Amino acid sequence: MKFSFIAHMPDTPGSLHRAAEIIKKYDGNINRIQFDRRIDPGTVFYEITASEESYKKITQDLEQMGYLQTSIKPQSFLKFCVCLPHRPGALYEFLSLTTSADANISFLDFDDKRRHPDRLTVSLNLEQGAVVDRLLNLLKSIYRIEIIEYDTTGKQLDDTVFYVRYAQAIRELIGEYEDAFLLSFLADTNRIAQELMDRGCDPKKVFESVLLTGQTLKATTGKNFYADVQKFRINDNTSLFCFQVPCGGNIFLLKSRENLLMIDTGYGIYHPDIMVMLSRYGMSDPDKISCIAITHADADHCGAAGFFAAPVLMHKSTLEIIRTNNRAYGSRSDHSSLDEFYTRMINLFSRFNIPEEIECFSAPDGTARGIFPVIGLVSIGDIELEVLEGLGGHTAGQVFLYSRTYGLLFAADSVINFASLSRERADYSSLAAFLVTSVNVDSDMAKKERKGLLELAQDTDNELVSSGKHCLICGGHGAVSVLDDGKLVACGKIERYIP
């Protein structure tokens, strides 16, 4: 059986050797090991193959040595100056006190040629709790000290405890999960950092990108939420709204006099803000949503679907991606482990809410629009949208919605007007592109899909030319656009919604 664990070892010669000796002693085989002093000088990630009994003995021995990490203990940062007597052994005596308190010294500065020849400046990392107060009280009873900085949040911890600092930052994003979950998340992030490092990436940038993804989502909720909004009159009975939220995919609503059709939902974390926004545009009653059509399984397109009572329509492969929690499902992705981690990570940060009532589109019936099979119909008022099955370029199960009569093409993430993206949205999108190396699970098929959709839009334009209309290309990100001499150009007025 395969097992994984995290070891936190003393930064001394032979530590890795002693751990390997224990694993060997019980016939364990090391499948993966990752240690990088540049990231954290004491943390090592292991995956091993062993019998269950052997694994139990290995972890017991490592725990007895103090090597096995089973929890993430919050730590404090303390910086102070202490006046030491100018005599042999003074520093030794002081360090004996800090060592007995399990304090990890991260900074030490002393020079008797300075203006204050007896002043020693010290920075310590300590576990939170009574030990900090006890150490301070003990030091104060012996030395004259001056506190420069005392931080209990962990934000000032230095890189000698990188994973502790990182774990505390993750906790701020996801709440109080059990330590076992947090350790598992750290191990998964470390595995991805190791894989991307093999591809020439800076491992610290991996951790920074993961953290920035969650921080950006959290920072753009509530009073910091906003959206860029476009509105189009489709016919006398129906209007189209496009909402570009701060991060992730667009939300589309087709509004008739009787009901609403929603195409994609945005991230779950944005749901409260989205409902307030919809009320501003006369769509405050969620019960009027007749159904929700999901273009694909990425969290920024379907993560809020579970908050609605309306039936949710999707491709069967989209449902499987949601069930397996892996956007690489059903694909030949050459970066599937990256996709799998990214799916779990973004679903966690964005508060993915799985819908209860899901209906899957049917199998192709033999009809097609260009290169895309027709697999269903979705209606709103007197408008019918054909559901077109994608080729699996961006993700397996991605679909497109199309009306030749009204010149509507919902192209999901296969056609995007990148020039219309704001700098903030582009920067956020680049985080995903870095962490998975490509947001498309099959780049060749993604190119084929884009070409086929643009040809379909151009054919539609040719049919609508007598009416002076263009096919509205509703991409999964960016502005609703039209083709102008083969190029995507944002269409109509774009207004900024602010709470």
Of the candidate ranges 159-173, 296-310, 347-361, 448-462, the one whose mean pLDDT is the lowest: 159-173
- For residues 35 and 104, membership in a common domain is answered with no
- For residues 283 and 422, membership in a common domain is answered with yes
For position 447, what pLDDT does the model report? Answer: 97
CA distance 93 to 96: 5
Final residue in a domain of this structure, among 25, 54, 69: 69
- For residues 11 and 81, membership in a common domain is answered with no
> Averaged over 124-147, what is the pLDDT?
76
Residue with tokens 């093409």: 409
159 by Cβ neighbours in 10 Å (0-12 / 13-18 / 19+) ranks as middle
pLDDT digits (tens, 9 = 90+) for 192-249: 999 998 899 998 899 999 999 999 999 999 999 999 999 999 999 999 999 999 999 9
- For residues 461 and 366, membership in a common domain is answered with yes
Residue with tokens 């919809």: 278
- For residues 45 and 123, membership in a common domain is answered with no
Using a pLDDT cut of 90, give the percent of the chain over it.
Answer: 70
- Evaluate whether residue 255 is within a structural domain: yes
Structure-block tokens of residue 401: 């919605």
Bridge partner residues of 242 (DSSP): 230, 252
- For residues 327 and 454, membership in a common domain is answered with yes
- For residues 129 and 245, membership in a common domain is answered with no
pLDDT digits (tens, 9 = 90+) for 343-359: 999 999 999 999 988 99
Query: What pTM does this model have?
Result: 0.83
Residues with Cβ within 8 Å of 328's Cβ and at least 6 positions away in sequence, in order, are 335, 336, 339, 340, 343, 441
How does residue 128 score in pLDDT terms, banded at 50, 70 and 90?
Answer: low
pLDDT digits (tens, 9 = 90+) for 142-157: 988 888 777 665 554 4
Final residue in a domain of this structure, among 151, 169, 202: 151
Number of domains in the chain: 3
Final residue in a domain of this structure, among 41, 69, 97: 69
- Evaluate whether residue 331 is within a structural domain: yes
Domain of residue 53, residue span: 2-69
